[in-house]
Amino acid sequence: PEAVRWVTDSLTIVQDLRWVSFEPWPASVLAEAALAGGGAGPASPADPERCFALSCQLDDPCWEGGSGRVLALHHARRGDDEPALRWIAEARTRCIRKPDTWAGLLGAILLTEAELRAAVGDVGGAEAASRDLVALAARAHLDGLLPGGLAILSR
């Protein structure tokens, strides 16, 4: 609840200041909080889709990756596996299209991809995403993401 308040306040400040270039991040985080049961954010993909569109207009690979990941999570929550997998693949592609990728976001995308692929029975895809995650985690000191990736590999 405290995080949802903080993100809501951040989004309000960004909107009040008309700081459009930073809007997609708190909006995406708020949408993910709603999916996790935080009680805020959209009930439909409309807000994450708006975030994704704005991220594309801003040409920001991190914002594109983050909002694409939330769209994948939204579709997965609804049981729409095919669009969920398309969105997580899109999120990954967008996130790494420039050399200054935020490693933590890429790690979150890889973990989400591995989990989504495992959930639909794509063992090979889940293992490939997990291996990519473990390699990234080792390079970028993302120790908190290692258990998730290793758990999928050990299944």
Give, for all 155 residues of the chain, the pLDDT tens digit.
888 899 999 999 999 999 999 999 999 999 998 888 755 544 455 688 999 999 999 999 999 999 999 999 999 999 999 999 999 999 999 999 998 889 999 999 999 999 999 999 999 999 999 999 999 999 999 999 999 999 999 98
Owner of token pair 């569109």? 53
Q: How many helices (DSSP H) and strands (DSSP E) are in the chain?
A: 8, 0
Owner of token pair 């998730």? 148
Asked if 134 contacts 124 with a C-beta cutoff of 8 angstroms, the reply is: no
Asked if 42 contacts 31 with a C-beta cutoff of 8 angstroms, the reply is: yes
Residue 61 CB: number of other CB atoms within 10 A? 23
Tokens for 28, please give them.
């995406």
Asked if 69 contacts 109 with a C-beta cutoff of 8 angstroms, the reply is: yes
Rounded CA gap, 80 and 87, in Å?
11
* Triad 104, 8, 36: Cα angle to 5°: 60
DSSP H or E run through 23: none
Angle between helices 123-140 and 146-153 (to 10 degrees): 150
Global pTM reads 0.91
